[in-house]
Structure 1
Amino acid sequence: MRNGYVDAIRKEFTELIIEETFSQNETYLTVKKDANVKICDYLYHHLKFPLILMFATDEREKDGCFKVHYVFSVDEEDAFIIIKVNIEERVPRYKSLTHRVPAANWYEREIQDMFGLVPQGHPDPRRLVLFEDWPAGLYPLRKDFNIKTKPERIQGEYIYRRVEGEGVFEIPVGPVHAGVIEPGHFRFSVAGEPILNLEIRHFYTHKGIEKLFENIPIDKAVFLAERISGDSSVAHAVAFCQAVEKIAGIAIPSRAKYIRTILLELERLYNHLGDIAGIATDVAFAFGAAHASRLKEDVLQLNEFITGSRLLRGMITTGGVRRDIGDKKGNVLLKLSSLQQDFRKLVELLMDMPSVVDRIETTGRIYNDIAKELHVVGPAGRASGMDRDTRRDHPYAAYPELNFKVPVHKSGDVYARTKLRADEVHESIGIIEQAFRSLPDGDIKTEVKEIADGCALGYTEAPRGETIYWVITQGNRIERCKVRDPSFCNWLAIEYAVLDNIVPDFPIINKSLSLSYSGNDM
């Protein structure tokens, strides 16, 4: 890649690039502060590289400034380009990218809240993570903010967008919901039943995860990673460990790669089955929902049989995995064969039921251009025609050695998202079967004693989509850990998916996107 795209960027912007560094498949280009939009716009619109992550670091102690990082993916070459700009503390401002790359929207608002760096020209400068009772001038991810700080609360009010007009009403939903789901606020503007506008407000349960990473030992951090989003424990743990392993320059044993792949696909299986059960519930097809829920329970019990944990926790560690599962091969393959037969019958039942199809076809459509602009990831993106999957585009674990297809649909509605998950269930079963049958002999862990100073990306394709960690270490401790759960990308898409639909269809649309409050509110 260094001789291809990077050369093109260097030729186009020679005088604007201050520094270049390379690390494995990551290229870091520090550019002049005022050139950030120009260069990022070139990468996004001219080279067609998606913006997959944006974050800030406080490097005042080392370099005397803050830094804003823009991470672009080069899928064709399994590579990443990271654009960096230096922001002086006395002038904590930089040009907003959102008007050119809409996917930067929440990232820039998050950086403003957590670091106090203002994106000039942002179309929506309201707070995102911090609520209005948080005092001004306190920025939690700055190094001089003590994690034990308990600030005095102040008076404040969040101003929602208003849709004016005769017959237009607002319907507030949440933040407290029925059941056990976490809090989130949805404010609908409606004229009759059709939805004219939806504004979401989250981060009610923000947990300060990224600050916590800076205050715990590296060998304990994997336990924090796997608890960020409970039903994606393996995906988060593997992404974190891969970042640390890249920094340490170690290769995990082949057997560990295959075991990680098996665990990742088991996690995908039970999530997709649960999502299909939820969709069936929301269209009032109780029998189909019960059938799918039974299959999900079968996988959860299989997880417990294999690892001792229904959610597959405690298996991933830096350098490989903690326990072997090779002796469970026969039981797992037999169970998966039976599950696949049952699942085929369930999908036929769902897709042949007119009352189900009528509720999910054309409902909650996310058009391809919207999906691309917002960088919608995972099944939601692939159901809208986005042919992206981290397992294939940036292969890790044992995926390069296994055969599987990446299903893609184009209609972008609830039907497409349901059908795509069904297709992925079959692919996941096939991947697990291949991995067990090809499971190599050998160790399951490489010993990791000390972590060198450095930085690296770690990434997985979680059930909801692309999960990314960027870790920088110094003195055998975590200096900064940026976490991006797929739900952070996909929550904004629901504001578009509901337009021109009716209020009673919102639960179906919401469930078909399978968004995580906990993964988002970090």
Structure 2
Amino acid sequence: MKISRIIVAPHELIHACRTVIANHGRFITMVASDECGREIDRFVVRYIFAHDGKSMLNVVESVLTESNCSYPTLSSMIPAASWAEREAHDLFGIFPEGHPDLRPLVLHDDWPEGVYPLRKDYALREKQERDSFSSWSYPKVEGEGVFEVPVGPIHAGVIEPGHFRFQVMGDSVLHLEAKLFYTHRGIEKRSEGMSVVKGLYLAERICGVCSVSHALSYVQAIEQISETRVPERAIFLRVLFAELERLYNHVGDIGNMCAGIGYAYAVNHGAHLKEQLMQLNDFIVGHRFLRGSIALGGVTEDITEEKLRYIETTLERVKKEFNEIVEQILSHDIVVNRFSNTGILSERIARELSTVGPTARASNYDIDVRRDLPYAAYDQLVFEVPTFMEGDVMARFKQRFLEARQSFQIIEQVINRTPKGDIRVPIGDLIPYSFGIGMTESPRGENVHFVMVGENNTIYRYRVRSAPYANWPAVPICVPGNIIPDFPLINKSFELCYACCDR
């Protein structure tokens, strides 16, 4: 994948990005970095755009000085840039002039003002004293009969923390505000100075159920910098691991979506099938979540012909049961009633927020990195990218079902077409202060890893934009107009991870 860099002054950012968009550039993310001391005292902001179908990225860069670390916001032109700009304001103290909502995003209310943890002069192990607690400010709907319902961040189930404020009239939701980043672990800060080898262990632990996707995004960024050519057998095995990860997630999610309506039979059957797939993962690589399967320059272990045939027979059995349970779910009147026309995400909003994955495709936003910016062996395989027009819970359910069917077919092709040969090569030299961008299609959508290396094969700046990070802003938009009991159903239909959003 080719990266084209466009370096402009801060006041030229808007014009440069507008030009890229006019040439069909799709906004991916914004990366801020503190590069003080490398050349001059400076910060850098980089807006990244993809040219789908051309295997090319545009990176629009601008340098900010210590004395004037502000730049014009792009959030009015690119709504999806809003979160990234707010995050950069929180963690670096750089200021997007004209931003309509600079409330803290990552940092919580007891974090002291003027302390920016991603600046190079902030010590990683420094114990941060907390400031006095201030209340969270958020828009409210006021009027007779309007009440507020707070939910979380600690929930009744064994799930990750997130705080939601509903403004309601009766059961009808008028407005929803979400506050996340309770699971922020400082992964990007922790990576600074770490060897690129150890960085892989960090990457595959960003999210429990997307270990392969995050690891693959990371190693592709490093391999891009080092111009490493991965062996053919390894790139096919990478596809195998990625699709097995997609499969157990989609199968489990289809069952779990039914928990929102109390359909226990479907929930348990989905869990049963997911367990079979996770036991298969353990048999293949020794880990239920496929952790440790991806390596710099290839994969960690070869897969024998015996194991490939075992995968084939196991998936034939699971596929049959999976098709049967989905047919039963879709024939249930309550499922049809509760899923249809619930939690609608329009195509316009899906595009404006640069949503990704099944969320985007269920709203007729037809993007998929495997096809549009192919990596590993995807350009040698035949598969379809299904989409739906409706953008409701039912569309997101069916989207996962059809995508799982595609994964079965892709894995079958990999089993029959994987060539013989090496599975790993040493990576090439890493030029200090060069960067790479790795992108993969996780079960939740497009994961993007930006890695800039420093001296002695270490990490200088690491930025992760996960699929949930791209999709979370869409959730509160889909809830108003529905009733409170629909929220668990809507939320589950997006199936967004908190940990890999928060990092």
Q: TM-score, normalised by structure 1?
A: 0.94
2:35 to 59, 73, 80: 59
Q: Which AA in structure 2 matches 1:399?
A: Y
Match of 1:69 in 2: 46
Q: Does 1:363 align with 2:342?
A: yes
TM alignment of 1:246-395, pairs within 5 A: 246-327=224-305, 328-395=307-374
Deviation (angstroms), 1:450:
4.5
Match for 2:81 among 104, 107, 124? 104
1:63 CA displacement:
3.2
2:470 is the alignment partner of 1:492: no
Give the residue type in structure 2 aligned to 1:163. Answer: V
Residue matched to 2:413: 434
1:21 is matched with none
1:50 paired to 2:26: yes
Q: 1:167·1:191 contact (CA, 8 Å) conserved in 2? A: yes
Q: Does 1:209 align with 2:187?
A: yes
Distance 2:18 2:476 in 1: 25
Q: 1:458 aligns with which of 424, 438, 457?
A: 438
Name the aligned partner's letter for residue 53 of structure 1.
T
In structure 1, what is the Cα distance between the partners aligned to 2:462 and 2:397? 34
Residue-by-residue CA offset, 1:81-102 (whole Å, 9 max, x unaligned): 1101111110111111111110
- Report the 3-state secondary structure (helix = DSSP H, G, I; strand = E; otherwise coil) of the residue aligned with 1:60: coil
Asked if the contact 2:343/2:393 (under 8 Å) is kept, the reply is: yes
Confirm or deny: 8 A CA contact 1:471 1:481 kept in the other structure. yes
Gaps of 5+ in 1: 1-23
**CA deviations over 1:147-186 (Å, ceiling 9, x no partner):** 0111221113321211111111110000111122121100
Q: Any idea what SS the aligned residue of 2:241 has?
A: helix
Asked if the contact 1:368–1:386 (Cα under 8 Å) also holds between the matched residues in 2, the reply is: yes
Structure 2 partner of 1:113: 90
The residue aligned with 1:184 is 162
Distance between the aligned counterparts of 2:407 and 2:129, measured in 1? 49
Match 2:105 to one of 128, 132, 136: 128
- Alignment of structure 1 residues 12-91 onto 2, 5 Å: 25-44=2-21, 46-64=22-40, 65-91=42-68
For residue 285 of structure 1, report the CA deviation from its aligned partner.
1.5
The residue number in structure 2 matching 1:9 is none
CA distance in structure 1 between the partners assigned to 2:290 and 2:367 by the alignment? 26
- For the 8 Å contact 2:25–2:58, the answer to whether it is kept is no
Q: Report deviation, 1:48.
A: 3.5
Q: Map Cα deviations across residues 473-518 of structure 1 (whole Å, 9 max, x no partner).
A: 1221111111111111111100111120100000000000001110
Contact 2:227 2:428 in 1 (8 A): no
Q: Distance in 2 between matches of 1:255 and 1:315?
A: 14
- Preserved contact between residue 226 and residue 428 of structure 2 (Cα < 8 Å): no
Equivalent pairs: percent with the same residue? 44
* Structure 1 position 131, deviation (Å): 1.2
**Residues paired across the two proteins, number:** 498
The CA distance in 1 between the partners of 2:442 and 2:352, in whole Å, is 21
SS at match of 2:38: helix
1:219 equivalent in structure 2: 197
Q: CA deviation at 1:399?
A: 0.5
Separation of aligned partners in 2, 1:263 and 1:352: 32
Is 1:517 aligned to residue 498 of structure 2? yes
Contact (CA 8 Å) 1:96, 1:122: kept in 2 or not? yes
> Is the Cα–Cα contact under 8 Å of residues 326 and 439 in structure 1 kept in the other structure?
no
Q: Distance in 1 between matches of 2:136 and 2:96?
A: 19
Q: Any stretches of 5+ residues in structure 2 without a counterpart?
A: none
Of residues 473, 477, 487, the one that matches 2:453 is 473
Residue type matched to 2:68 in 1? V
Moved over 3 A (4+): none
For residues 244 and 282 of structure 2, what CA distance do their matches in structure 1 show? 11
Tell me, in whole angstroms, the C-alpha distance in 1 between the residues paired with 2:339 and 2:100.
33
Residue deviations 1:446-485, cap 9 Å, x none? Answer: 0236533321110100000000001111221111111111
Q: Following TM superposition, by how much is the alpha carbon of 1:444 offset from its aligned partner in structure 2, in angstroms?
A: 0.6
1:10-59 Cα distance to aligned partner (Å, 9 max, x none) = xxxxxxxxxxxxxx511010012111122223333x33422111011112
Amino acid at match of 1:364: G
Inter-partner Cα distance in structure 1 for 2:107 and 2:477: 24
User: Which residue does 1:14 correspond to in 2?
Assistant: none
CA distance in 1, matches of 2:369, 2:171: 39
The aligned counterpart of 2:71 is 94
- What CA deviation, in whole Å up to 9, does each residue of 1:336-390 have, x standing for no partner? 1111111111111111111111110010000000000111110000000011000
Deviation at 1:406, TM superposition (A): 0.4
Secondary structure at the aligned position of 1:460 is classed as strand
Aligned equivalents of 2:114, 2:364: Cα separation in 1 = 43
What is the distance in 1 between the residues matched to 2:479 and 2:426?
Answer: 50
**Aligned residue in 1 for 2:210:** 232
Q: Is the counterpart of residue 154 in structure 1 residue 135 in structure 2?
A: no
In structure 1, distance between residues paired with 2:141 and 2:255: 35
